[in-house]
Structure 1
């Protein structure tokens, strides 16, 4: 079982305090390459959440049976099997979106976010806690990619939810800016992604600093963070 405090700690760490994109800076390749639209970012995030959650449960359940010396190859094998299933599902049910996301679905296998949580958390904790860690770490990735993708899409083309018809046929995206809006090309190019990501990181640091300044005991933080694996 899991108590309320442990649940809250896993939730806070995954969604905010140890956000994989804004704090750990893991998985930058899909983060910057896929977020040209909100839909692309959200759908890749959902695929990653499924893989992270199931991989964490599988590794946590088998952690006492996996020899320490070969744990990394076994972890990769588990993740690769799950990514293959997700890849086939996207190809079968969201074929147009599958073509758009391209290689970035199979590349979830090597995504540092997935491997980091499997190694740093699931390999040391029970299945329930590992499931929650995978889900909440994925939700942290989800809101980051959704916000970054939405900003890039809006600034770059004046639209929002472009490509939603690839997921829900018959539903169309929104044209929020005038139809003659010329677009801002930098926003949809890699340099624009880096700039917006930097601004998001700065905003998060500012929000945390402001929240800490409001606390009477701002200088003391007794929170014991969950383990984080190094990597980019």
Structure 2
């Protein structure tokens, strides 16, 4: 089944902004609060979740006509668990250091409510391509939140940016770490590294998105008023 450009734009905007799982739906809070101590940790877990959502969404859309209505949730969870297992084994084999850091949060993707929610709300009612794209963009919307929150906490908590990037790109990437605060100062702000810092950072992101939405709505109302003014005259 083909997908139009407008569908791609609508699904992408919905996943990344309009229904962002992190700052709009406020789902998947456990990894959001626990794994955002750095950009790399947050973004890596977010990308892993996006891949799971894309593959599981496409699989659910492909198989939904064969799934009895009474058994759909257990079967959807089984599909998600199978995709997560494949991802977990692949990361263990090819990105073992990062796999060790993310730890239990990789298999816990199965229990992330946003994954099953999109399978039930979207993939069970739409085509394979649309469902795969919806899952991926929802996951990437969450990834953006995880990465930004991880960056805020990393800079304020440790004075660095991109620490742990060698877990993804190898030992040679250690030189890519940005020391916002000179390393010889041994800077550390423990409050931002611990969960309370994650709550505050997430609250600021939610407030920031709400402010941008209000500004956009006000700008749209002004444009409508300006457009209707000549007609009224």
TM-score, normalization: structure 2?
A: 0.91
After TM superposition, the structure 1 = structure 2 runs for residues 58-97 of structure 1, keeping only pairs within 5 Å, are 58-97=59-98
Select 1:186's aligned residue among 184, 191, 214: 191
Which digits, 9 at most, give the CA deviation of each residue in 1:31-66, with x for residues without a partner? 110011110111111111111001000000111110
Tell me, what secondary structure is at the counterpart of 1:163?
coil
1:178: how far off?
Answer: 2.1
Tell me, what secondary structure is at the counterpart of 1:171?
helix
Which digits, 9 at most, give the CA deviation of each residue in 1:184-228, with x for residues without a partner? 111110011001000000000000001110113789xxxxxxxxx
1:181: how far off?
Answer: 5.0
After TM superposition, the structure 1 = structure 2 runs for residues 188-207 of structure 1, keeping only pairs within 5 Å, are 188-207=193-212
Residue of structure 2 equivalent to 1:166? 167
Distance 1:26 1:192 in 2: 18
Distance 1:36 1:196 in 2: 11
Residue of structure 2 equivalent to 1:146? 147
Which digits, 9 at most, give the CA deviation of each residue in 1:94-114, with x for residues without a partner? 112111111000000000111
Closer/same/farther in 2, CA of residues 218 and 181 from structure 1, 3 Å limit = farther
Structure (1 or 2) with the larger CA radius of gyration? 2
Closer/same/farther in 2, CA of residues 66 and 16 from structure 1, 3 Å limit = same
Residue of structure 2 equivalent to 1:47? 48
Query: Which runs of 5 or more structure 1 residues have no equivalent in the other structure?
Result: 220-232
Distance 1:42 1:76 in 2: 24
Number of residue pairs matched by the alignment: 219
* Pair 1:121-2:122 in alignment: yes
Residue of structure 2 equivalent to 1:224? none
Contact 1:156–1:187 under 8 Å retained in 2: yes
Tell me, what secondary structure is at the counterpart of 1:183?
coil
Tell me, what secondary structure is at the counterpart of 1:167?
helix
Contact 1:212–1:218 under 8 Å retained in 2: no
Which digits, 9 at most, give the CA deviation of each residue in 1:142-177, with x for residues without a partner? 111110001100100000111111111110122121
Larger helix proportion, structure 1 or 2? 2
1:182: how far off?
Answer: 2.3
Distance 1:176 1:211 in 2: 33
Tell me, what secondary structure is at the counterpart of 1:64?
helix
Distance 1:92 1:6 in 2: 36
Q: After the TM superposition, which of the residue ranges 170-179 and 134-143 deviates more from structure 2?
A: 170-179
RMSD: 1.3
Query: Which runs of 5 or more structure 2 residues have no equivalent in the other structure?
Result: 225-233
* Pair 1:29-2:30 in alignment: yes
Tell me, what secondary structure is at the counterpart of 1:22?
coil
TM-score, normalization: structure 1?
A: 0.91
